[in-house]
A and B are shown apart, each in its own frame.
Chain A
Amino acid sequence: AQKITQTQPGMFVQEKEAVTLDCTYDTSDQSYGLFWYKQPSSGEMIFLIYQGSYDEQNATEGRYSLNFQKARKSANLVISASQLGDSAMYFCAMREVDTGGFKTIFGAGTRLFVKA
């Protein structure tokens, strides 16, 4: 069963506007972590932001914020004031406890295109 769902394969946003990338997750654990990563066309994976399941406030890192709605099991990424350099693939991920320790699983990703 899909544990991380990103329903938007591609998104367009105008430069300087805000954009929300959707992510829903499925877990029965009480303790888990949620992440967003960015993958530019160069291929490297860049960690953007983290939200713990017990954190009451939404995480923020510069222009990135994570809209955490626990009851809905959603963890949407909001990018404010989009820049051309934000054009990339974005992955939502969830850290969960496994028999072997902690592991993180990823969604299929959303490709963001920022238009000048």
Chain B
Amino acid sequence: NAGVTQTPKFRVLKTGQSMTLLCAQDMNHEYMYWYRQDPGMGLRLIHYSVGEGTTAKGEVPDGYNVSRLKKQNFLLGLESAAPSQTSVYFCASSSTGGDYYGYTFGSGTRLTVV
């Protein structure tokens, strides 16, 4: 019973490089989310999805793209990484939009852009 799995767990990128973060959930959840966590700022929503084939922008979407081709996977892409994207990235999923049971979070991806 894996829950939400994020890969990779750590990554160092050079400015301008691209990468994709993968989030996979095995709970048949409709809703999936990508957040970034920076010191003193809590978690900020990047993009989210309310079902297979859907995506929507969150609070800080610039510089990121997402895709939800399969219900269980939610991909976060950085096309041209910048040092400002150095952060810890969390993926989360829920069945009800979060009500009653909250979100199930992955363990996070620590990304450093140099």
A residues whose Cβ falls under 8 Å from a Cβ of B? 4, 6, 9, 33, 35, 37, 43-45, 47-48, 50, 52, 91, 93, 95, 98-109
Contacts and interface: CB of A to CB of B under 8 A. Distances in A.
B45 A50 contact: no
B74 interface: no
- Sorting the interface of chain B by its residue count into under 10, 10 to 19, 20 to 34 or 35 or more gives 20 to 34
- Chain A interface main SS type: strand
Nearest to A92: B42
Interface of B: 31, 33, 35, 40-45, 48, 50, 54-59, 88, 90, 92, 97-105, 107-108
A107 B35 CA distance: 13
Contacts of B104: 47
Contacts of B101: 47, 50
23 contacts: A4-B42, A33-B99, A35-B102, A44-B105, A45-B105, A47-B102, A47-B103, A48-B102, A50-B98, A50-B100, A52-B99, A100-B50, A100-B55, A100-B57, A101-B97, A104-B45, A104-B98, A104-B103, A106-B35, A106-B42, A106-B43, A106-B44, A108-B41
A44 B107 contact: yes
